[in-house]
Amino acid sequence: MSTNNDNLLAQGRIAVLGYGSQGRAHALNLRDSGLDVVVGLRPNGPTWHKAKAEGFTVVEPGEAVKGADLVAVLTPDMVQPTLYTESIEPNIKPGAALLFAHGFNVHFGQITPRKDIDVILVAPKGPGALVRTEYERGRGVPSIWAVYQDVSGQAEAKAHAYADGIGGGRALLIKTDFKEETETDLFGEQAVLCGGASELVKAGFETLVEAGYQPEIAYYEVMHELKLIVDLFYEGGLTKMLQFISETAQYGDYVSGPRVIDAGVKARMKDVLTDIQNGTFAKNWTEEYKAGLPNYKKLKQADLDHPIEKVGAALRARMPWLQTGNAQPAAAPLKKAG
């Protein structure tokens, strides 16, 4: 794709720091949009060689930042403060833009950006692989954007230009701020998407197994089939889910769902949100990371050792369509006989 001269970044240079799922997708999409991209990574790591093999100029982060008009920080949250102090702050030029895909470190004060740079956020609402494949199809993933600090008078335009460069402008751009993006993202992960869903699945599995049902049957009912429901949610919300499940399932949804997810659950969700809003979670997570992750490792191992994982591994081995490289079949309607 040729350079878009209407893009504010077309005559500048973008440094992408990090080459994981999002970093790779952003770098490739920006380059294919005709923008000048350099990738900043620790020398000779696996992503260093991957980025070089895919045709990028790859240098150490501090070197990548020098002279860049926009620096995109796409590394894990907990390494960003050190990366900022050691590689970004001494090298980013006045008037340049510092871009994040998640506002955690800025919002919670782990990073205090220099006062002579723009600070912006662009966050696609999808994983890096989807950001890349949708771009290649001529489409894009909806993205949210925010401005935290505008010294150039062009911070908003830079955010839009970056979003256009990765394909977000082809879909939908939603304005937010660092506070809203950070707090809602953390809440979604903890209360629903990761913490809430995994605890619900484990509790359902344990309830069935403790009642004498086969673990294999329990696995299929509370974990495996969850994908079918989530796909329906993803494609058409509650409306499509209700369209594709039986009336029996619908009635059970209406009368039993509120018995499990009741007012007490919502009250505890509010407690989770409060801990996020007042900085308790950020403080605890930062201290845990600095201590070497002892509780994190213990809690992670407990999940990995849960009986549902042993049962699931054996069952998934008999489902070749789940193996890497094989396409997964489309979600089947869940209307059942009876």
Active site residues: 102
Tell me: is residue 246 an annotated ligand-binding position.
yes
The encoded tokens of residue 40 equal: 């900043």
Tell me: is residue 143 an annotated ligand-binding position.
no
* Category of 275 on φ-ψ map: left (φ > 0), alpha (ψ -120 to 50) or beta: alpha
Distance CA 122, CA 172 (A): 12
Q: Report which residue type is found at 255.
A: V
For tokens 């359902």, the residue is 204
Distance CA 237, CA 248 (A): 19
CA angle at 299 for the pair 298 and 300, rounded to the nearest 5°: 95
CA neighbor of 123 nearest in space, from 180, 163, 157: 163
Tell me: is residue 256 an annotated ligand-binding position.
no
For tokens 């009986």, the residue is 307
Tell me: is residue 19 an annotated ligand-binding position.
yes
Interhelix angle 21-32/46-53, rounded to 10 degrees, is 20
Tell me: is residue 316 an annotated ligand-binding position.
no
Reported in sequence order, the residue ranges of 93-222 that DSSP labels E, i.e. its strands, are 97-100, 118-124, 143-149, 173-175
Tell me: is residue 20 an annotated ligand-binding position.
yes
Helix (H) or strand (E) holding 25: helix 21-32
Tell me: is residue 2 an annotated ligand-binding position.
no
Indicate the annotated binding residues for NADP(+): 19-22, 42, 47, 128
Indicate the annotated binding residues: 19-22, 42, 47, 128, 185, 189, 221, 225, 246
Indicate the annotated binding residues for substrate: 246
